[in-house]
Amino acid sequence: MRVLLIGPRPPPHGGISVHVSGIHRELMAAGVTCRVVDTNHVRRPGFALTVLRHAVQGWTLHLHTNGHNVKSWLLALGCGLAGQLRGASILTLHSGMLPSYVETASRWRRRLAALTCSLYKQVICVSPEIRISLISLGVESRRMEVLPAFLGTRSPAAPESGLRAWVGRHQPLFSTVLFFRPEYGFELLIAGLARLRGMYPSLGCLVMGSGEQRAEAQKRVSEAGLEEGVLLLGDVDHDACLALISACDVFLRATLEDGDSISVREALSLGVPVVASRVGTRPAGAILFQPGDVEEMVAKVDLALAEKRGSLPQAAGCMDRLMEIYRQVDGSEGSLCLN
């Protein structure tokens, strides 16, 4: 079996790029020949040639994309056509904004999405809502499977020494992972933290993520008087991210739109209580609030702080099932051992 993963690679450490890197690591550990083609460089001349060459050589192509814009579907169309040559192809659709895109898309865009899905032996939807949207396009149910983009978590190390002093000065300690884009709800997060500071003067929040609106985000932190309590860390390596999440009392996810957040599942698997907006797909154990409702968010944070760490159900990873899909698509016999 040979697998060509097609998707973004860190940096930045977003949900899709972390998932692609994790699959690559697990496949290599299992002795599977695996390479990654970075879709952050899709416009480079060698991108299409690399995909075509691997397809002709019989590799299984596995594309990871958001599915919430035309660019994503055109990329998926090209990879799906390449997969018709000699190999096989798998498509994983990640975005929580895909359902609204499909609902409002023009007729030709809906046809493009349906045609593209028909080129793949397996379409993996990271949430039930994505699957329902594809069914509305006429995509065959037997071709699809819902599989959250969560591989499980390893035991994290302690936070790096440069942050330990800051972490030690703040109680309770919160964390979040985001991009500085409107759908990630940073304004709501800051409004909630400003209210919580009245009850917890020494609170701290570690914000991991990047984006073009970071300068504006820093300005909002200053306007709220939270410079001492909110630390914008920028893009953070995945292992360091897990270490910081594990050190926190509550993980926050204030998104206005979402899919099936990997960071939410990671926090729960580490035994950290999660307070998240009721959008997209949320796993059992997350404490939910109405998106955009700062008062309910604050109330749910109080509830989460009373939650006993480690009492939450441990989230199961999807890698074993993903290996089965690879074998089915590739036609491989026997089993592969995951360490």
pLDDT per position as a tens digit, 226-238: 999 999 999 999 9
Cα–Cα distance for residue pair 27/283, rounded to 1 Å:
25
User: 170-205, pLDDT tens digit by residue?
Assistant: 999 999 999 999 999 999 999 999 999 999 999 999
Binned at pLDDT 50, 70 and 90, residue 45 comes out as: confident
pLDDT of residue 310: 62
pLDDT of residue 335: 46
- Name the residue type at position 317: G
Binned at pLDDT 50, 70 and 90, residue 158 comes out as: confident
The percentage of residues in the chain with a pLDDT greater than 90, rounded to a whole number, is 82
CB 134 within 8 A of CB 126: no
Binned at pLDDT 50, 70 and 90, residue 334 comes out as: very low
Cα–Cα distance for residue pair 326/265, rounded to 1 Å:
23
- Model-level pTM? 0.84
pLDDT of residue 314: 56
The percentage of residues in the chain with a pLDDT greater than 70, rounded to a whole number, is 95
Instruction: Tell me if the bond preceding 12 is cis, omega within 30° of 0.
Output: yes
Is the pLDDT assigned to residue 117 strictly greater than 70?
yes
Domains 2-151+317-330 and 161-305 share a fold: yes
- How is the chain split into domains, by residue range? 2-151+317-330, 161-305
Binned at pLDDT 50, 70 and 90, residue 308 comes out as: low
Cα–Cα distance for residue pair 122/143, rounded to 1 Å:
5
Is the pLDDT assigned to residue 294 strictly greater than 90?
yes
- 36: tokens are 């990654």
Q: Which 3-state string (H, E, C) describes the chain?
A: CEEEEEECCCCCCCHHHHHHHHHHHHHHHCCCEEEEEEHHHCCCHHHHHHHHHHHHCCCEEEEEECCCCHHHHHHHHHHHHHCCCCCEEEEEECCCCHHHHHHHCCHHHHHHHHHHHHCCCEEEECCHHHHHHHHHCCCCHHHEEECCCCCCCCCCCCCCHHHHHHHHCCCCEEEEECCCCHHHCHHHHHHHHHHHHHHCCCCEEEEECCCCCHHHHHHHHHHCCCCCCEEEEECCCHHHHHHHHHCCCEEEECCCCCCCCHHHHHHHHCCCCEEEECCCCCCCCCEEECCCCHHHHHHHHHHHHCCCCCCCCCCCCCHHHHHHHHHHHHCCCCCCCCC
Of 92, 89, 146, residue with least CA distance to 329: 89
User: 249-288, pLDDT tens digit by residue?
Assistant: 999 999 999 989 999 999 999 999 999 999 999 999 999 9
CA distances from 324 to 23, 84, 266, 297, 330 (A): 13, 21, 23, 39, 10
CB neighbour list of residue 306: distance below 8 Å, 6 or more residues apart: none
Is the pLDDT assigned to residue 210 strictly greater than 70?
yes
Q: Cα–Cα–Cα angle for 260, 261, 262, nearest 5°?
A: 115
Cα–Cα distance for residue pair 276/316, rounded to 1 Å:
19
pLDDT of residue 140: 95
Is the pLDDT assigned to residue 336 strictly greater than 60?
no
CA distances from 222 to 187, 229, 240 (A): 12, 10, 26
Q: Could you tell me the fold of the domain covering 161-305?
A: Rossmann fold (3.40.50)
The residues pairing with 87 across neighbouring beta strands, listed in sequence order, are none
- 12: tokens are 């930045």
Binned at pLDDT 50, 70 and 90, residue 127 comes out as: very high
User: 53-104, pLDDT tens digit by residue?
Assistant: 999 999 999 999 999 999 999 999 999 999 999 878 999 999 999 999 999 9
pLDDT of residue 143: 93
- Name the residue type at position 222: S
Is the pLDDT assigned to residue 152 strictly greater than 60?
yes
Superfamily of domain 2-151+317-330: Glycogen Phosphorylase B; (3.40.50.2000)
